[in-house]
Chain A
């Protein structure tokens, strides 16, 4: 009989509509550490789960995009607070998922929190940088404003289980879009823990929906789904990208293509990932007595 206390292990479920359901398919798959040891069973998301996630994202869109930029910034800052609060949990999870040292994992979570704070501070500034009043040649007041595109499907980076995930997720929601995100297939656990952070941060249910499972199974469904307005293919397996691009054409999705190889997430980002999921609306009005 050992003196060591038995740990109550976490069950890793999906995050849809603000709740944590299991996959409707009842399936799961084993997630292993870099040394092959068993970490946990993660839900093996199905096309129906994905369908439900898109519905949740669509339902959350009006509220989230209609919130003031200030309010979104406040919520996102709160996420950063919660994230920082769970630092040690993430250090363990990243380290075991990615096989990195505790120091590297710590640097990763620290960078992820700062990355989240960076994007939180953008929500009430994007319009000032991406919008403008335009000096048209006539007696009109003319202004252009950026607006969120809508429901964005994101395939998260396969390798960087938290920092990479945060770097693709935060820019999409800071501007008012809602998200259906496919976590890294082999390193999904930090993503689900992040979902727990989101659920305790006043983020309305459905703004972020997170699925774990097989990219090859889920990404094509996401890409072809006509109620998804845009795609971030950053983490899509190279062999799938062309097929996904083609599938996206059905409703002219805006597609952000992956780079040749996974970027160095430690590098300072640019506004690119926010601008990729913004539409521009230009309004004219006469000026006269």
Chain B
């Protein structure tokens, strides 16, 4: 990161710590777009130099692993039944980014996926469409055509997904390509190598550059929490992404294990909550990787509900990156409505 390019603000002895930002926080008054001036102000204060950024990130409160996991486990004991379960199942469907990210993907596969995204349950038109499909950039035009007029968004991964190991020029070209193809949302990966070697400024700059290249498209920033390992790192990376202009922070690429877990989601939701308090900006959270059962999905919704609250119980602020989850949600929904357990072949698998 080129620190000389950053303007210095005279008269300050150092960047504000997290606590100071809390004290001067703005009251929450309606959702503010994540790239707002409030966020820009925070960015200006903490992003002046690598050292300032490091001090800010390392000054955030730590996360006690055992305590965080215990809280997540306690929330997982919530028992969601009857009408509250039905509501949640349908909300979860609406929150899905229906995903296919395989080397073997073809136009045919993507078109099939889009058809399912528009109409998840062929036998029941009451089932709402999912939020988006999530695919590789070269298949964006196929998806755009297949989803035209449906309200389902096209999300594309980019920035040399999943590893992120390429030059910034290549990564930005990847983004521009997807945007040009019509992508409504971009799921980028942060440079974990840079993060883990402490080059926070580089990570921040890349998020900012990608955000710019996104244009009108919404940006989800994948932290790849499985590679970050500690919850302290997850908290710091969350803040980095948000200060950089993320519309969403996302747990994982789904290509690395462990991917999304309840405690990781808890920590990210806490970061999002605190960030909203400081800036008034609402950043969304997407959990991806390994979420296969409706039971799991409902647990995530409970964590959202009891950590950041109802405002985030909406596809505009919470997503599931998943593929097989959809059918399990449909099966559970079917059981709720009919009383009998559905069979696997009752739903198309793609």
A and B touch in the complex (CB under 8 A): no
